[in-house]
Chain A
Amino acid sequence: MKMMKLAAGIAATLAVAAPAMAQDLHFPMLSYRTGAYAPGGIPFADGYHDYMTLLNERDGGIGGLPIRVSECETAYNTERGVECYESVRADNPLVIQPLSTGITYQLIPRVTQDGIPMHTMGYGRTSAMEGGTFPWVFNYPANYWDGASVAINYMLSQNEGSLEGKKIVLVYHNSAYGREPIRTLEILAERMGFTFLPIAVDHPGQEQGSQWLQIRRERPDYVMMYGWGVMNAVAIQEAANIRFPMDHFIGIWWSGSENDVLPVGAGADGYTALTFHGVGTDYPDYADLQEYVIGRGLAAGAGDQVGSAVYSRGMYAAMLAAEAARTAQELAGHAQISTAEMRDGMEALVITEERLTELGLPGFSAPFNVSCGNHGGSGAAMLQQWDADSGTWSLITDWIASDRDLVRELAVEDAAAFAAENNITSNCDM
């Protein structure tokens, strides 16, 4: 009880001490720079932060208003994620980016209730692409089921269009994240006649001996991986140990960072992973980053992540958020947009090749547009391959489209179940 008195006292003090609302655009970040998943969380947060700093330094923010980025440490823990969400909720956050599928599931009902848009780029609940059921949640440009479908399409292209009789294993992080693609892959297996075997790895994934023993026994043609954090490097090491052909080992985009392959050394050479954005630093945007952010000593974190795969993804997320805010400002006709206006901006977002070139990121992303009926973007992805000698990722394919009809069909089914449970009627006029 003493605690509560103290809490109420401090709350009162804080409420009085809160500064007057300044004119700015608040982009909160639910990041994790600590814990078992920090190797993924740090570059993403740095990329997001640096791009926003770039906009502030080079363009003076978005539409003349400065950007304010706030960070809240979740350590990939759902309870801390809730605490972080509560702490930014009242501070006019334009878009929430939780970078965790678990936290996403927790926040979907809350952001819907509070009317705050959430962008789960390439993670989160896949059926959120159905904007009619999930008006406040966006997961463009690609989702987990797209990823599974793109990987299968790539295998098809390698096998003259047939996977009949092949055996494909999925090594997955045993959480909501890793389980997402299973149903899609099961259906694809049925349709294409390959054998599908999911193998779970429990958090945090440092022990995978038995899983890889099983893989060795099963002799699959391909292994797919939906992993995150330390699990990735361990899996690649185990694959190298059993001499599994690395170019037949395909990771989702969250299993394709430098931190995953570097510890394995030469053994990781040829490992492939999906990506929904370009790799490397050969973009004019990076020159600007160097000039305005890194050169001025404004880089977030230790500044040693610039150009890595997940850093680029964080930057991409920031770019999409900034573009959505710009669209929202155009739609609203004023610069200080509200969360509802931000949502409309996200729903009207159009990414074209011309716009990407203007932004200094030509070919970095597949062009896509968002609509009320489709919060999921294009669904296209590329494959990147690791070269252990030069220590770089290189793209080995062009954009590969996913089987959007199938993904859509499954998403509609899942969204309908959610809508029925929660009494939601679609708010798109389709």
Chain B
Amino acid sequence: MLYREAGDFKSTYSSDNQTFPIRGDRYAYWVALGFAFLVVPFFLGDYWANSIVIPFLIYVIAALGLNLLIGYCGQLSLGTAAFMAVGAYATFKLTTSFPGLNIYIVFLLSGLVTAGVGVLFGLPSLKIKGFYLAVATLAAQFFLIWLFTRQGWFFNYSSTGMIGMPERSMFGIIITGAAASSTAVYMTCLIFVVGMAWLARNLTRGTLGRTWMATRDMDIAAEIIGVNPMISKLSAFAVSSFFVGVSGALMFGVYLGAAEAGEAFSINKSFLVLFMVIIGGLGSILGSFLGAAFLVGLPVLLKLLLVDLMGWPADLARHFEVMVIGALIVIVLILEPHGIAALWRTIKDKLRLWPFPH
């Protein structure tokens, strides 16, 4: 009854091919968008914005990017954090070198810079695949972090090697720096998330996405049917790195405000984003959202529950949290190897028929 599909006829090709072919989904999508844009900004407290919602939105972009690469094109990458660092350092260099440049343009340019770097490190994918490619991208992780911590040019020769985000505003609203209101930061992140999720969804439905999926499913067969593996793989690296770069730029620019490559963009972050993609669901846009929500929101919610409501000692709660999240990851992967998105797919299939499954 939740999905009332009776009478939902499709009489044109465009309506048959739309992103959300089921009417219920479409309504839910518009309601969610309206809620996120029109309701949340007025009720969002600083704590909830800064500890859950904003990091969640930023990680969604990173997870989307990695999902395009791994889930759609089948190229394993362990260099996500390094590409985020590229985005962050590009933002820092661009915004300090060109103080007048619009900050949104800076974020997008940072993504483009990262796309270039991503293509460079994607070149080995033309020769190798699977675990070997993972190791090659691991080299990106170590090399780029080395570069950003050792070469003074990247951090403007500051004595500590930290990069700090100066205050920037758009239309008189402060967006970066400590004076930015959490609403402005939230709206910035939301605009990027919606725009990039829309882009990701449509890319994967189009020619490019189909060549990626062909490459993922069997690269030799894809080549035989006329997919150019070089263009397919490198474009996947470019688009994926663009997403990840924007995510890193936002993480540094609007969320952290100050960062240091070795700490903020360590290999742990690469794994975190990889887990988001795997738990959320490979090859699913919704999965990127769910995975990010799972791994960003759950630790904080657990902390609130255990420490603030139940009064556990902070360190005990933290140890417990590591165990719970670890166990949940294992459980989710055993029960649903294709991620939470697949779980949702099953539920949805049942809901569409409910309450008359026969």
Contact = CB atoms under 8 A, between A and B. Distances in A.
Interface in B286-335: 293, 297, 300-301, 303-304, 307-308, 313-315, 317-319, 322
A110 B322 CA distance: 28
B167 interface: yes
Given A71-B314, A106-B256, A174-B149, A3 B297 contact: yes
Contact of A90 (B47, B53, B166, B308): B47
A3 B264 contact: no
A112 B178 contact: yes
A294 interface: no
A180 B161 CA distance: 9
B262 A179 contact: no
B46 interface: yes
B43 interface: yes
A422 B47 contact: no
A106 B263 contact: no
A33 B318 contact: yes
B160 A422 contact: no
Nearest to B145: A202
Given A8-B40, A86-B50, A179 B257 contact: no
A113 B179 contact: yes
A313 B27 CA distance: 59
Residue from B46, B47, B314 with most neighbouring chain A CB atoms (10 Å)? B314
B225 to A, nearest CB: 38
B258 interface: yes
B35 A179 contact: no
A110 B185 CA distance: 14
A102 B40 contact: no
Interface in B255-288: 255-260, 262-264, 266
Of the candidates B35, B164, B179, the one having the most CB atoms from chain A within 10 angstroms of its own CB is: B164
B159 A1 contact: no
B297 A7 contact: yes
Contacts of A217: none
A78 interface: yes
A408 interface: no
A83 interface: yes
Q: Tell me the dominant secondary structure on chain A's binding face.
A: helix
Interface residues of B, number: 53
A102 B263 contact: yes
Interface string A148-183: 000000000000000000000000001110011011
B160 A73 contact: no
A31 interface: yes
B87 interface: no
A106 B159 contact: no
B161 A176 contact: yes
Contacts of A421: 164, 166
Contacts of A73: 303, 314-315, 317-318
A143 B315 CA distance: 28
B177 A109 contact: yes
A14 B308 CA distance: 10
A210 interface: no
Interface in A58-113: 71-73, 75, 78-79, 82-83, 86-87, 89-90, 101-102, 105-106, 108-110, 112-113
A8 B314 CA distance: 24
A82 B166 contact: no
A390 to B, nearest CB: 31
Given A1-B35, A1-B36, A8-B40, A75 B318 contact: yes
Interface in B171-203: 177-179
B51 A175 contact: no
Contacts of A114: 178
Given A73-B317, A78-B256, A203-B266, A105 B149 contact: no
A215 B228 CA distance: 52
B32 interface: yes
A5 interface: yes
Contacts of B45: 11, 15
B135 interface: no
A21 interface: no
B263 A175 contact: yes
A33 B320 CA distance: 13
A105 B47 contact: no
Interface string A1-43: 1011101101100110000000000000001011000000000
Given A105-B160, A179-B159, 17 more contacts: A14-B308, A31-B314, A71-B314, A73-B303, A79-B256, A82-B50, A83-B50, A86-B50, A101-B160, A106-B257, A106-B258, A109-B178, A112-B178, A180-B159, A183-B159, A203-B262, A414-B159
25 contacts: A1-B36, A3-B293, A4-B40, A7-B297, A8-B40, A10-B304, A15-B45, A34-B315, A71-B314, A71-B315, A72-B307, A78-B256, A82-B255, A83-B51, A86-B47, A86-B50, A101-B160, A109-B258, A110-B178, A113-B178, A174-B149, A175-B161, A179-B161, A203-B266, A422-B167
Interface of A: 1, 3-5, 7-8, 10-11, 14-15, 31, 33-34, 71-73, 75, 78-79, 82-83, 86-87, 89-90, 101-102, 105-106, 108-110, 112-114, 125, 174-176, 179-180, 182-183, 200, 202-203, 414, 421-422
For the complex of A and B, list the 4 residue pairs with the smallest distance between their C-beta atoms, beginning with the closest.
Answer: A33-B315, A109-B178, A1-B32, A113-B178
